[in-house]
């Protein structure tokens, strides 16, 4: 029986085939090589006061449907940066999330902070495509990739100067992710096979990450209190989309998330407190 993730990736592969037919691999390789050097997000993540916010440009989601029209993604990204965001995440998957590479282009042109291409990346073409369009980071989901594919895509991205954000959802995926020696690991409270959100997953898995890895908490953030809980559990960064695009004041929201985390002391690794469970 196919999962939600299986269905999304099937559509991603169909759309990828269309783009590959229009823009041959050799051309994408040339564009990637000609792109300005990728920015390293890690120093900024580590230097952020309280928590680094990766603020997301997100129009739709499979679980909630339409979230916000976002006619000008560059303007939204600039508002995130003004609020103190350390990076901007851009969803480029079209069928379920309403994104595009044009959104990535618009955001790249609008901000000087690192930009993450957030998509279901399963093929080297997409990695090169991300670099060609100015991405500094890419998302690699352990749940969507076999070990050999995860390593191949991770190594290709780092070879291009990009930083992979390797995403996990359970302890087995943490082990698989750490095998490729990532600089940044995201723990997603949302199970993309079912779309359920369980924030306790973040509290359980963050202590498994070594201190030299930037730990990112993903999903389940509805406000500053949730950010503080994630930081208390050990997150050095949070990736937030829905709460920012639906709140009406993106700069203020980012600033509030950062402020909420400033006085929070991360719990020692291996003994993170529980996080209130939230099912969607």
Among 93, 219, 229, 242, the one annotated catalytic: 219
In angstroms, the first-to-last Cα distance of the chain is: 22
Residues 6 or more apart in contact with residue 194 via CB below 8 angstroms: 3, 4
Among 86, 89, 188, 251, the one annotated catalytic: 188
Is-catalytic flag, 64? no
> SS in 3 state form for 130-190?
HHHCCCCEEEEEHHHCCHHHHHHHHHHHHHCCCEEEEEECCHHHHHHHHCCCCCEEEEECE
Is-catalytic flag, 280? no
Is-catalytic flag, 118? yes
Among 58, 61, 191, 251, the one annotated catalytic: 58
Among 86, 118, 129, 191, the one annotated catalytic: 118
Among 93, 129, 173, 218, the one annotated catalytic: 218
| CA–centroid distance for 277 within its chain | 21
Cα separation values, 279 from 11, 68, 97, 194, Å: 26, 22, 20, 11
Is-catalytic flag, 143? no
Among 61, 89, 93, 167, the one annotated catalytic: 167
Contact (CB, 8 A) for 125 and 16: yes
User: Can you say whether the dihedral through the CA atoms of 217, 76, 245, 247 is positive or negative?
Assistant: positive
Using CA atoms, how far apart are residues 6 and 4, in angstroms rounded to an integer? Answer: 5
Is-catalytic flag, 218? yes
Alpha-carbon dihedral of residues 90, 95, 101, 105, nearest 10 degrees?
-50
Catalytic residues: 56, 58, 118, 167, 188, 218-219
């Amino acid at each position: 029986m196919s999962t939600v993730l299986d269905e999304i990736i099937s559509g991603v592969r169909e759309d990828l085939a269309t783009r590959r037919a229009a823009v041959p691999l050799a051309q994408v390789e040339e564009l990637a090589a000609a792109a300005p050097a990728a920015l390293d997000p890690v120093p900024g993540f580590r230097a952020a006061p309280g928590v680094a916010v990766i603020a997301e440009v997100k129009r739709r989601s499979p679980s909630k449907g339409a979230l916000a029209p976002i006619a000008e993604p560059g303007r939204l990204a600039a508002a995130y940066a003004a609020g103190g965001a350390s990076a901007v995440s851009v969803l480029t998957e079209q069928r379920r999330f309403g994104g595009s590479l044009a959104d990535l282009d618009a955001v790249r042109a609008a901000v000087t902070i690192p930009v993450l291409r957030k998509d279901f990346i399963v093929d080297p073409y997409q990695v090169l495509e991300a670099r060609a369009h100015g991405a500094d980071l890419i998302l690699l989901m352990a749940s969507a990739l076999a070990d050999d594919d995860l390593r191949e895509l991770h190594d290709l991205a780092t070879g291009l100067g990009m930083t992979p954000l390797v995403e996990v959802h359970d302890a087995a995926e943490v082990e698989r992710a750490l095998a490729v020696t990532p600089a940044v690991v995201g723990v997603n409270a949302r199970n993309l096979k079912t779309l359920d959100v369980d924030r306790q997953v973040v509290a359980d898995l963050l202590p498994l990450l070594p201190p030299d890895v930037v730990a990112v908490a993903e999903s389940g953030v509805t406000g500053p209190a949730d950010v503080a809980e994630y930081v208390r559990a050990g997150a050095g960064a949070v990736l937030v989309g829905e709460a920012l695009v639906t709140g009406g004041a993106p700069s203020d929201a980012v600033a509030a998330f950062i402020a909420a985390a400033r006085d929070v002391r991360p719990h020692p690794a291996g003994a993170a407190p529980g996080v209130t469970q939230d099912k969607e």
